[in-house]
Amino acid sequence: MDDSSLAERQGVVRVPADRADLVEAAQEGGGTVDDGEGPADDDAPADDEVTVARVGPTGITGLDPLVSATSGGETAFYANVDPALVTEITADIAEGSVGVVGDPLAVAGHALGPATFPLAPATPLGVGNRRILGGAGWHRPTEPSDHDAAGGFVDATLEDVVSGADGLQGRGWGDWCQDSDVEPALDRARDAFGEAAVVVNAHGTATSVGHSGADTDRPTADALLLESVPFAVLEGADHLATAVDAERVVVYVSEADETAVERVRTAAEHYPDPVTPFEVVTGPAVHRATEPTMALEAIEGNHRLEARLRRPGELPTLNGVPALVHTARTVAHLARRVRAEDVGGHAATRLVTVSGDVEAPATVELSETASLDAALDAVSLAGEFRAAAVGGRFGGLTDSLDVSCSPGSLAAGGLGTEGVVEILGADRCLVEFVGRRAQLAADTNCGRCVPCREGSTQLTELLRDVYDGDFERGAIAELLRVMDGSSVCAFGVEAARPVRTAIEEFGEEFESHADGRCPAGACFEPPEVPQ
């Protein structure tokens, strides 16, 4: 398999897989497309030809379309390219030179044939680490040889998997073990050895919700992994299947993430000798469908999704068998740890997506000890920084991102651990922002439990009352405590967070609104000036 991987090629031009026009332009420049059908592929480029590889996104959308051109020990990165430039770049590589044409974003030196993304310091591509994301924008997503060349497809024993899971925490609200150790869940699934199911929950629907009519929905980190490095995810799932001798392994994706669905389906077909064949199942593109028990309901085919009760100390079930439900991020981290590459010398990493009032969203990989501030280097702010909602759709508000992205420090600051930082610019009214989020919770909850269904409705009313001069801080705090403490699932628990943190951090803004003033100048009509 190795000799079909891109790492073996002399000249490689990597082009976004979804841009047929750029692929064509690269061919015009003398490149030959190689989709990696293996050494027997008659169409594979000869050794002295430039290989054109269709790769997945890097996560830095502001650079798209990004083309990288590698020859020998150097790679030139070109951001926001057009077809004419891609033709020139390819011709440049064919002649053995790198970064001569155009205006490359960066030229990075590296060993011959790097199997993972080379470091490009001082650019958005160089922010944080690229361990989980090492193949994103570098590997052909559905070609096993590239993942193999990067050290993937490890034959893991049960002991390897248990050892890799030691100390690993679940990532994201779609994970049954969010912010807690996955090991106890794995132990319970092993009690059902041979009859357990593994569910990779990659459903996360969107990083943010439209503002002022703008559609800022983007795939989350989980969907990015499936689009770019599906084998990194499937490998972790395969390890779990090994550990519990799973009878089913299901990858669950939002039906809106069409590219992710297509890529992971193809990758699942190409996966070499999986312990249990992978199934890919889609769920409706609604936020609540990410919650683990609703994910299981969707996989089981229920037409209506509502949260299930949870039995303390036990796993949920999929069609009656105990199921391990972990996000794509969690299982990708597991795969890295099983290779023993992420234990010992390295701190654990977190995928962080920056969205909101930025020119273009970006997903980067930060060490858990790094400050969230570091992620801002990967984006251009659309204006002055006012605040940020940290933790996804129901993130907590803060005016400072000087907080490390470990779950412990985020929780200590009342912030969420979903891995999404939504930037709020200077013209944003935070009272309006959390009011709309409360309304969103009222509109989109599953409808099952009273504290979430009726609580979010009454919360919205209490926030509307602020505009009528009635800021009942105690009543709002009481309602938030009850939503947080008695909702059936994380939807209701998290829906309380934006308002709670906004009042704690920006309470004076609520007072101002009760007095008829909006500090951001967004909420009230200016008084009419008499003529």
Partner 1 sequence: MSSDHEAGDVPPLTEDIAPGTATDPPVGSDDATTVTVDGTAVELPAGSTLLDAVEAVEKGADARGDSADGGTAETVPALCQYGREDIGPRSTCRTCMVETDSEGLVPACSHPAEDGSVVRTDAEAAVEARDVNLDLVLSNHNLRCTTCGKNGRCDLQDAAIENDVEEPRYGVLDDRDAYEPIDDSSSFIQIDRNKCILCNRCVEACNDVQVEGVLRVEGSGADTRIGFQNGAATMEDSTCVSCGHCATVCPTGSLVEKGIEDATTIQIPGFTQKNSVGKSYERDGSPKGPMTPKKAAERTDRTASGEAERARETAKEAASDERRDWP
Where do contacts with partner 1 occur on this chain (CB under 8 A)? 209-211, 213, 284-288, 293-294, 297, 300, 302-312, 314, 316-317, 432, 435-436, 439-440, 442-451, 453-458, 461, 463-464, 466-467, 475, 478-479, 481-482, 485-488, 523
135 vs 292 by CB, closer to partner 1: 292
CB of residue 363 vs partner 1: minimum separation in angstroms? 22
CB of residue 415 vs partner 1: minimum separation in angstroms? 21
- Who contacts 74 (Cβ-Cβ below 8 Å, separation ≥6)? 98, 99, 107, 108, 109, 110
266 vs 486 by CB, closer to partner 1: 486
Q: Which amino acid is at 488?
A: V
CB 45 within 8 A of CB 9: yes
CB 247 within 8 A of CB 199: no
CB of residue 454 vs partner 1: minimum separation in angstroms? 4
237 vs 466 by CB, closer to partner 1: 466
CB of residue 128 vs partner 1: minimum separation in angstroms? 30
CB of residue 204 vs partner 1: minimum separation in angstroms? 14
DSSP lists the bridge partners of residue 148 as none
217 vs 504 by CB, closer to partner 1: 217
Q: Is 181 exposed, middle or buried (0-12, 13-18, 19+ CB in 10 A)?
A: middle
- Who contacts 186 (Cβ-Cβ below 8 Å, separation ≥6)? 161, 162, 165, 240, 243, 244, 324
Q: Does the N-terminal peptide bond of residue 284 adopt cis geometry, omega within 30 degrees of 0?
A: no
Of 448, 450, 433, 444, the closest CA to residue 498 belongs to 433
Three-class SS state of 339: coil
158 vs 482 by CB, closer to partner 1: 482
Q: Which amino acid is at 37?
A: E
Three-class SS state of 70: strand
CB of residue 486 vs partner 1: minimum separation in angstroms? 4
- H or E stretch at 325: strand 321-327
6 vs 463 by CB, closer to partner 1: 463
CB of residue 477 vs partner 1: minimum separation in angstroms? 11
- Who contacts 9 (Cβ-Cβ below 8 Å, separation ≥6)? 45, 47, 51, 113
407 vs 451 by CB, closer to partner 1: 451
39 vs 469 by CB, closer to partner 1: 469
Three-class SS state of 58: coil
What is the Cα–Cα distance from 365 to 305, expressed in whole angstroms?
Answer: 32
102 vs 498 by CB, closer to partner 1: 498
The pair of structure tokens assigned to 423 is 């930037």
15 vs 423 by CB, closer to partner 1: 423
The pair of structure tokens assigned to 147 is 């993942």
CB of residue 443 vs partner 1: minimum separation in angstroms? 4
For tokens 């790769």, the residue is 55
149 vs 479 by CB, closer to partner 1: 479
Buried b (16+ CB within 10 A) or exposed e, 272-304: eeebbebebbbbbebbbbbbbbbbbbbbeeeee
What is the Cα–Cα distance from 104 to 74, expressed in whole angstroms?
Answer: 12
Three-class SS state of 210: coil
CB of residue 18 vs partner 1: minimum separation in angstroms? 22
- Who contacts 408 (Cβ-Cβ below 8 Å, separation ≥6)? none
60 vs 489 by CB, closer to partner 1: 489
CA count, 13 A, side-chain hemisphere, 236 = 32
What ranges in 105-157 are assigned the alpha helix state H?
144-149
CB of residue 437 vs partner 1: minimum separation in angstroms? 8
- As a 3-state breakdown, the chain gives helix, strand, coil percent values, each rounded to 5, of 40, 20, 45
CB of residue 457 vs partner 1: minimum separation in angstroms? 6
CB of residue 316 vs partner 1: minimum separation in angstroms? 7
The pair of structure tokens assigned to 427 is 């013209």
